[in-house]
Structure 1
Amino acid sequence: MKVSVVIPLYNKADSIRRALHSVLSQTAPPDEIVVIDDGSTDDSADIVRSLRVGNLRLHRQENAGVSAARNAGIRNARNDWIAFLDADDVWKKDFLLTVRELHEKYPDCNVLATSYSLLNWDGKEVSITLGELGFESESGIIESYFKAAYNVDPPLWSSAVCVYKRSLEEINGFPVGIRTGEDLLTWARLSVSNKIAYHKKSCSLYVKDDKPWDVGRVNDVEDFVSDELLRLKERVGGAEKEFLLRYLGFWYVIRASSFLKAGYMVHARDSILDSVCYDGWTLKKCVFYAISFLVKKMFDSYLRSIIKKESSFL
C-alpha cells in the first residue's frame, strides 16, 4: 500500500511547518507528500521549500479554493492511496500506521478513516462523539454511513481519512465552488459506492482557531449540498434511504447554526423549517428557531454559549 499525502495550503505560514512535521514524524512514513499552494500571499510556500524533504513536492496554482486544491493534489499524486491533511491540523504519530492496518484487515474497503479529536484554543484535546457505527470492536466496517453521521460529530473528516485514488476520481473529487459542506458531500458520495473501514482510536487533531468563538464561514444561500444529497437518494435503498433523509435534516441544522453565527436570521429560520420536513422537531431546533427571532444585539452572548456547547465541530 503506497500512500500520497495531499495538503491544501493557503496562507498558513503559522501552522504548515507543524502539519508537515506531524507527517514526517509518522511511525509508518508516507511514500510522498504533495502540497498544493492555492495562491498564498504569505510565506507558506517558502516554509515548505525550506524543509528540503526528498519525497515532498510543492505545486502552486491561482487561488481557487480548498476543493480545487485537493483535486489538484489528487491529480498530481503518484500513488494509489491518498491521505488528506489540512495545513492547520496535525496527525498523531500512528495515523498512517493505523490506516495501513485497516487496509490489511479490511482489503475490500476503499475508504479508511480514524476518529479524531478537537484541539481547542486553550490547548485541551476533546474527543468527538461517535454515532452508531455498526460494530462494537475498536475497528470495523461502517454499516450505514448516514446513520453513523446523523446528529453527531462527522465520523469522517478531511484530516483523518485515506481514500483509494480511483474512488475519488469516480466521483470527480471534491465539489468546487461551494463554501461549506464540500467535505461532507464528498464523504456522502463515497459512502454510496464504497465500503468504509474505521478505527475508533483518535489519530488526528482538528486544531481550532485561537479565538474563543469563531463566527465561521458563511453558508452559500443557494444550497448545493442538499440538492446533491437528494440525488444520492436514488442510489440507496431500504433503511439507508431513510437514514439519508434524516441526515439531510441534520445538514439543515448545520446550515442554521452557521447562519445564526453570522446573524442571518431569516436564512437560519428557513433552514430549521427545511430540517423539520425531513426529521421533525427537536429541542435544539426549537432553541435555534426561537433565537432566529431575536434582535442580533440581544442574542450574541447567548448564541455563543449555546452553539459552542451543542456542537464544537459544526
Structure 2
Amino acid sequence: MVSPNLSYPFNKPFLYQFPTGVKLMSKVQFSVIIPLYNKSDCIERALQSVAAQKFQAAEIIVVDDGSTDDSVDKVKALNLENLRVIQQANQGVSSARNNGVKHATSDYVAFLDADDEWSPFFLAKVSKLIRRFPEGGLYATRYQKVLDKQKYIDAKIALTSWDPDGYIMNNYFEIAANGDLPFTASSIVLDKCTFTSLGGFPEGEWMGEDQSLYVQIALNSTIVYTPAIESFYYIGITDSACDKAPPSTICPFAERLFTDIHIGKVADCSAKMAEKYIGAHLCDLAKRNIKHRSYRHALRLLAHPAARAKLLHWGIYSLIAGPMSLISR
C-alpha cells in the first residue's frame, strides 16, 4: 500500500488568479465632496450629518466656490479632523464638484449639497452595496424631499424593484420618465475611476448638469440602487433657479441624448424609453413656463419631436398653452 504524499500541495504556495474585471475589495473608503456657495444657514447641518455617520468617511472636502458670506468661517469653526477646505473663484457647482474629486484620495466619492443631509446610515448602506455589487459605477439610495425644514415628502419614484438589500438598476430611463428621478446628487456615490472616465459633471451649462452625468452612467456603466431612504433633499430653503426663471429651450443634456438616440448610440432596447424620458423633461419645462405665463415658450418646447413621447402631458399642456398664447397677444 502506497502512503499518501502529505507534503503536496501543502509545501507549495497556493496562488489564485481572480477573473479579469473583478475588483479586489479591501476596506471601502469614501471621500465626501461638498460644494459650497453662500450657504451659511445650512452648511453646519450638512457637515454634522456627515460627522454622525456610523461608517465614517476617510475625508471631507468642502469646495468653496467663491462664497461672500460667513459659510467658510462656520465650516472651519466645526473643527472636524478629517476636513479640508478648497477655495476657488466662483465657477458653478459642477466645477466645484469636479475640483473636489481631483483632490479626493479615496476610491469612492460621495456628493452632498450644502443644503441637504444624510441619515446616520447613508455611508454604511452604500458600503454594503459596494461589497455586494463591486462592479457598480454609481451607487444610490432613495431620498425624501423636505419642505420648509419640517414637512417630509416621499419622492414619486416609479420603482420596479423594492429589494432593501439593493439591486442593479438597468431601467433608469423608464423610472425617470414616469416620475421623479430615483436619486439626487446628494444620494449618490461614484466609483472615482468611472467618474473620471466619463468626464465628471459638465461645466458651464445652465441646467441639468446632474442629469447629464446620470445619463452617461446609465448608458456606459452600472447603477446600483437601494430603496432605503438615507438622504434628505431640501426644497423649501430657497426657490430653485428653474422655478424663478424656467428655461425656454431644451436643456443640453436632453438634446445630446436625443441626438445620440437618432444616430444609433443608444441601444434599441433603451431608445424608446430614453426618448420618453426626454419627453418628460420637455413637458415639465412647458408646465413651468405655463405657470409663469410664458405660453409661447411652452409651445416651442412642446413642438420638439420628443415631447409627444409623453402624449397625455403633451396634449394637456398644448390645450392650455395654445389658446392662452393667442389671448395673451
State the TM-score, normalized to the length of structure 2.
Answer: 0.83
Equivalent-residue separation in structure 2 for 1:36 and 1:200 (angstroms): 29
SS in 2 for 1:178: coil
- Residue 249 of structure 1 aligns to which amino acid in structure 2? G
SS in 1 for 2:186: coil
Equivalent residue runs for 1:257-276 within 5 Å: 257-274=287-304
Structure 1 residue 137 and structure 2 residue 163: aligned? yes
Deviates more, 1:59-68 or 1:124-133: 124-133
Matched length: 296
Structure 1 residue 71 and structure 2 residue 115: aligned? no
Aligned to 1:36: 63
The one-character-per-residue Cα deviations of 1:44-96 (angstroms, maximum 9, x if unpaired) are 11111111112101011111111111111111111110100000001111111
Q: CA deviation at 1:212?
A: 8.7
| Aligned counterpart in structure 2 of residue 242 of structure 1, from 264, 272, 280 | 272
Q: Is the 8 A contact 1:179 1:218 kept in 2?
A: no
The one-character-per-residue Cα deviations of 1:260-304 (angstroms, maximum 9, x if unpaired) are 34443222222123265550521x3334334435769x99xxxxx
Aligned to 1:306: none
Deviating beyond 6 angstroms after TM superposition, the runs of 4 or more aligned structure 1 residues are 211-214
| Aligned counterpart in structure 2 of residue 225 of structure 1, from 246, 250, 253 | 253
Aligned to 1:155: 182
Equivalent residue runs for 1:18-167 within 5 Å: 18-121=45-148, 123-133=150-160, 135-138=161-164, 139-167=166-194
Percent identity over the alignment is: 30
The one-character-per-residue Cα deviations of 1:102-151 (angstroms, maximum 9, x if unpaired) are 11111111210000000112611111122244x34222111221112112
CA gap of 1:268–1:27, structure 2 versus 1, over 3 A, is same
CA gap of 1:12–1:220, structure 2 versus 1, over 3 A, is farther
- Residue 279 of structure 1 aligns to which amino acid in structure 2? A
Q: Is the 8 A contact 1:142 1:148 kept in 2?
A: no
SS in 1 for 2:194: helix
Gaps of 5+ in 1: 300-314
CA gap of 1:10–1:275, structure 2 versus 1, over 3 A, is farther
State the TM-score, normalized to the length of structure 1.
Answer: 0.87
Q: CA deviation at 1:226?
A: 2.1
Aligned to 1:285: 314
Q: CA deviation at 1:39?
A: 0.6
Equivalent-residue separation in structure 2 for 1:209 and 1:57 (angstroms): 28
Equivalent-residue separation in structure 1 for 2:144 and 2:297 (angstroms): 30
Equivalent-residue separation in structure 1 for 2:143 and 2:188 (angstroms): 10
Gaps of 5+ in 2: 1-27
Aligned to 2:22: none
Equivalent-residue separation in structure 2 for 1:264 and 1:82 (angstroms): 40
CA gap of 1:153–1:275, structure 2 versus 1, over 3 A, is farther
- Residue 62 of structure 2 aligns to which amino acid in structure 1? V
- Residue 82 of structure 1 aligns to which amino acid in structure 2? V
Looking at CA atoms only, which structure, 1 or 2, has the larger radius of gyration? 2
Equivalent-residue separation in structure 1 for 2:279 and 2:290 (angstroms): 17
